[in-house]
Amino acid sequence: MFIDKEKSEMSKRRVVITGLGAVTPLGNNVQELWANLLQGKNGVGPITRFDAGAFTTRIAAEVKDFDPMPWLDAKEASRMDRCTQFGIVAAEQALQDAGVKPRVQPGEQGNADAEVILDRARVGVIIGSGIGGLETTAANCQTLFTRGPHNVSPLMIPRMIPNITSGIVAIRYGFRGPNYCTVSACASANHSIIGAVHSIVLSEADMVITGGTEAAIIPLGVAGFAKMRALSRRNDEPARASRPFDRERDGFIMGEGAGILVLEELEHALARKANIYAEVLGVGMSADAYDLTAPDPDGVGAWLAMIRALNSGDISLEEVDYINAHGTSTSLNDPIETRAIKRLFGARAHDIPVSSTKSMIGHLLGAAGGVELIATALSVAQGMIHPTRNYEFPDDDCDLDYVPEGARQHPIRVALSNAFGFGGHNATIAVGAYRQ
């Protein structure tokens, strides 16, 4: 069934996950997020960041009680869009979790004994965002049209550009490895993570801070997605609005936040005595080449991304024990992703648990894949799968095991994390438990 039987280059330099950081609608750190996901809690509610009374969709999955001050000083925070603040805070958490030395101070050369193992010239930063600093863009457009060009902020450009989060992390730590941002809609974080894997496998870096960040819950962002009729209008029942694979689904819920991981070459991680959550075993990418927003109805693009991830890690179909689905709660994505899974795994597809993180935190757009890979890595590490919330009414086109009953204990050899974006961008990451 595999397209390519050749042994993957992935086996030459192994990549492991050694740090996790998250800012999400279900908690502003990984511990809170994971505990709430296992409990099947709801992160969706009425929009509070602006008056949404005139909008057809008035609900979203907002980050709550976010305070960047423990991580950023007031001046730093004022120079960043909310999108960047999320990414920096999650990156700081991930680096701290990975046991990386605190950031360099002005004038520091980074030559202390602790730097013998961590060569900052070989640490990269690749953090994706589907939209970037949309709040900054919208605010400065309003200023331009109402007050004129001389009143536009001189910080507009560095606050709005999607790549600035990667740049700031590198500046704060003195990391001089590969540094860029991927922008591929809802596949942005997964593409960033895949870029990080490639940098390590190709020996361009020994460590890469990667993932995604997004903050688009502003009037312009909600209006744009609502006009596409992509969003749920279940305004009176926000806790039941995000319902991936359920027959009564009516659109996705906008979310915001960041999910950042530290990826590291195995021998480098072992030399540091780093904690290893999971190993990245394979990665796969594809294009639907079909439509601006609709996925290929046959699921060929999603199937290709998954099978390429398995091929790249020389992983058999029988080894896959869990899939963290893209699972958006939209009429098109859910049955098409289901179709792709069934096409790949055949009859065994019904024996593989599939769950959607978006059922609880909404769709974090360019940050979704980062948060979802964190959840997938923790599932592998702990042998626990979080549920798909709100799966109440089976759909004939969505007939897999979506774990509706609550968290499930389940040993996992290999797990897949899917991300599919507008424009037909598909990216799948395969992870498993680290074994010597």
- Give the catalytic positions in this structure: 186, 326, 363
**Element of type H or E holding 95:** helix 82-97
According to DSSP, the β-strands at 179-180 and 414-421 are: unpaired
- The long-range contacts involving 38-43, CB below 8 angstroms and separated by at least 24 positions, are 38/384, 38/386, 38/407, 39/407, 40/360, 40/386, 40/387, 40/389, 40/406, 40/407, 41/360, 42/238, 42/239, 42/360, 42/389, 43/255, 43/360, 43/361, 43/362
CA pseudo-torsion sign 168, 174, 179, 184: negative
Contact 175, 124 (CB under 8 A): yes
What's the Cα-to-Cα distance from 188 to each of 33, 169, 182, 322, rounded to whole Å? 21, 18, 6, 22
CA dihedral of 234, 239, 240, 242, whole degrees rounded to 10: 80
Q: Which residues pair with 17 in a beta bridge?
A: 263, 278
According to DSSP, the β-strands at 179-180 and 123-128 are: parallel
Rounded CA-CA distance 71/337 in Å is 38
Residue 121 is classified by DSSP as G
Q: How far is CA 422 from the centre of its chain?
A: 15
Residue whose token pair is 């899939």: 323
User: Going by C-beta distance under 8 Å and a sequence separation of 6 or more, which residues neighbour residue 139?
Assistant: none
Number of other residues whose CB lies within 10 A of the CB of residue 214: 34
Residue 113 is classified by DSSP as G
